[in-house]
Amino acid sequence: MAILCLSCLSRRPIFTAAFLLAWLCTAPIAQAHPHVFVTARAQVLFDPQGKISAIRQAWVFDPMYSAFVTQGLGKNGGLATREELAPLAKSNVESLQEFDYFTHAKEAGTPVVFGDPKDYSLEEQTDKSVVLRFTLPLRTPASANRSFSLQIYDPTYFVAFSMAEQQPVVLDQAPQGCSTNQFNAQPLAADESKKLDEAFFSGLSPGSDFGLKLASRIIIACP
């Protein structure tokens, strides 16, 4: 079974083909999607006028990816520092633009447009997992009076997102009476799961939105 050489590749953003090659160094070529697993949390920021102004995100990566990006970092076996991971944080966030930051929101059914991310960082936590944090400002603050929906997913399911079990979404400076509800996707039927091999995912078009079928949906509503 062919195995690619990790040492031949430089550290790259996770959302590029180079990371897929590096990932395959420690897994069989026939490994099926998804290739990266992320546990996500979102903090919804409100402005003084009571409108949603930004989404602050925290993505915790799986052990394999975390070990990959911290390889060779940290002193005397210690944790990698934010300074050491800063170049990767920058390249990862910049590469996310191509994928709309895997963040999809609607205000009363109308898609929300985000501005450039800010306040981004990568950090290795005490359990050795790596977390990416960044803030996505809305180009135009949105009202939650008629509902605001939020989903975090990769349409092609190369990256599998799941919302954290504890406090997946929190509201910051929200008007009194605002609430959140999470609607989880229905699990795939057994016959659908059998079809999820590498050939299936390789044939997905950029607009297939397969990941949407497995994405949780967050609804924020204010009186």
Q: What is the pLDDT of residue 138?
A: 97
Q: For 175, which DSSP code?
A: P
- Rounded distance between C-alpha atoms, residue 55 and residue 52, angstroms: 8
Closest CA to 36 of 12, 57, 8: 12
Pick the residue with more confidence: 28 or 149? 149
Sort strands 36-46 and 52-61 into parallel, antiparallel or unpaired: antiparallel
Mean pLDDT, range 115-136, rounded to an integer: 93
- Domain range summary for the chain, segments of one domain joined by +: 11-21+33-192+205-221
Closest CA to 159 of 60, 33, 31: 33
Mean pLDDT, range 104-114, rounded to an integer: 94
Mean pLDDT, range 102-124, rounded to an integer: 93
Q: Tally the C-alpha atoms within 13 A of residue 79's C-alpha that lie toward its C-beta.
A: 14
- Rounded distance between C-alpha atoms, residue 67 and residue 200, angstroms: 28
pLDDT digits (tens, 9 = 90+) for 184-205: 776 554 445 445 544 444 444 4
Residue 24 pLDDT > 80, yes or no? no
| Percent of the chain residues past pLDDT 70, beyond the cut | 71
Q: What is the pTM of this model?
A: 0.77
Cα distances (angstroms) measured from residue 119 to each of 101, 108, 167, 181: 14, 28, 21, 27
pLDDT digits (tens, 9 = 90+) for 68-99: 888 888 777 789 888 988 988 888 888 888 88
Pick the residue with more confidence: 36 or 107? 107
Residues 6+ apart with CB under 8 A from 123: 82, 85, 130, 131, 133
- Rounded distance between C-alpha atoms, residue 153 and residue 168, angstroms: 14
